[in-house]
C-alpha cells in the first residue's frame, strides 16, 4: 500500500471499524496445486498475517476472522486433527509478534470442545495480549452464529429463572450485550473469499446491516491490493440503516 493511498483512505473517515472475513478456499487452492488440503491452510496463515498488518496500519479497530466453524468438525478426521495442530502452532508462533505490535487477541466460540492443551494455549495467548490497545484481532474457532445467539438467550433465560430480570427485559439490546462480540464495535464489513455467496452461519446477529463483499479469489491468493480495493469501495457506499438517502445526506440542523 502506498503511503499516499493509505493517507487517502484514512482521511476519508469512511473506513470500516470492524471487518469480518470468511477465509474460504484454502483446501481448493492446495488441491489445484496437487498438494494436501492442509498446505492451503498453512498458506492462508500468511494472508492472515498480511491482513492484520494492513488493518493495524489503517487504525481499524477490530478484525474478526472465521478460522473454524462448528460445522467444520464434519470434515475428514485427519484434516480436523491437522487443523488443530496448525491452530496450536500458529498461536505459539504468532502471539509474541502480535504482542509487540500492540494487537489484542481474543478467541470467540465454544472452545470447550478443544483439547485441554489447546485451551490452555488460548488462555495464555489472550492473557499475554490482554492489555494491548491497538487492533482487536478476534479468531472465531468452533464458532457458529446460531450457537452464539442461543448461548446469549440461555444466559438471559437463566437470569429470568433466578429472578434477576423479567422476560420483558429480553430485548435486542440485551441479546447484543451477551453475544460473543459484545466487546467490539458494530460489524461494518464482511468479506468472503473463495467464490461462494453466503455467510455460512457466521456472525448472524451481527450482520443485520453489514456490507457484504464476495470475491472469487481463494484465500491464499487474497492480497493487500484486493483489500485496498474493497476498502475503497466501502468508502463509496451510502449506508442508510433503514433511512432514505435524503435523510442521510441532509445537513444536521443546529439546535
Here the cell at position 8 is 487517502
CB 51 within 8 A of CB 82: no
The residue from 3, 24, 132, 229 that is catalytic is: 24
User: Whats the size of the chain, residue-wise?
Assistant: 255
Could you give the strand order of the β-sheet that contains 189-192, starting from the edge strand earlier in sequence? Answer: 104-108, 136-143, 62-69, 18-22, 189-192, 211-214
CB 69 within 8 A of CB 143: yes
CB 37 within 8 A of CB 31: yes
Burial label, 174 (beta-carbon count in 10 A; 0-12, 13-18, 19+): middle
Based on the residue annotation, tell me whether 72 is a catalytic residue of this protein: yes
The residue from 72, 99, 101, 132 that is catalytic is: 72
Based on the residue annotation, tell me whether 142 is a catalytic residue of this protein: no
Radius of gyration of the chain (CA): 19
**Which residues are designated catalytic?**
24, 72
Amino acid at each position: 500500500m502506498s503511503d499516499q493511498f493509505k493517507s487517502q483512505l484514512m482521511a476519508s473517515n469512511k473506513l470500516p471499524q470492524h471487518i469480518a472475513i470468511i477465509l474460504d478456499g484454502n483446501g481448493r487452492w492446495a488441491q489445484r496445486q496437487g498438494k494436501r488440503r492442509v498446505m492451503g491452510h498453512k498458506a492462508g496463515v500468511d494472508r492472515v498475517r498480511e491482513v492484520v498488518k494492513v488493518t493495524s496500519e489503517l487504525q481499524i479497530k477490530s478484525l474478526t476472522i472465521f478460522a473454524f466453524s462448528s460445522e467444520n468438525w464434519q470434515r475428514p478426521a485427519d484434516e480436523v486433527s491437522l487443523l488443530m495442530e496448525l491452530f496450536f502452532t500458529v498461536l505459539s508462533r504468532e502471539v509474541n509478534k502480535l504482542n509487540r505490535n500492540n494487537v489484542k487477541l481474543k478467541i470467540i466460540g465454544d472452545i470447550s470442545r478443544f483439547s485441554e492443551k489447546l485451551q490452555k494455549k488460548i488462555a495464555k495467548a489472550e492473557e499475554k495480549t490482554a492489555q494491548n490497545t491497538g487492533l482487536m484481532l478476534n479468531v472465531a474457532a468452533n464458532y457458529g452464529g446460531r450457537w452464539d445467539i442461543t448461548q446469549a438467550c440461555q444466559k438471559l433465560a437463566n437470569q429470568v429463572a433466578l429472578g434477576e430480570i423479567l422476560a420483558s427485559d429480553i430485548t435486542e439490546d440485551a441479546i447484543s450485550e451477551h453475544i460473543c462480540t459484545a466487546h467490539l464495535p458494530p460489524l461494518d464489513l464482511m468479506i468472503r473469499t473463495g467464490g461462494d455467496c453466503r455467510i455460512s452461519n457466521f456472525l448472524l446477529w451481527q450482520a443485520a446491516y453489514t456490507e457484504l463483499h464476495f470475491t472469487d479469489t481463494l484465500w491464499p491468493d487474497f492480497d493487500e491490493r484486493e483489500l485496498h480495493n474493497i476498502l475503497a469501495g466501502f468508502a463509496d457506499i451510502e449506508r442508510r440503516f433503514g433511512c432514505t438517502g435524503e435523510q442521510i445526506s441532509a445537513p444536521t440542523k443546529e439546535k
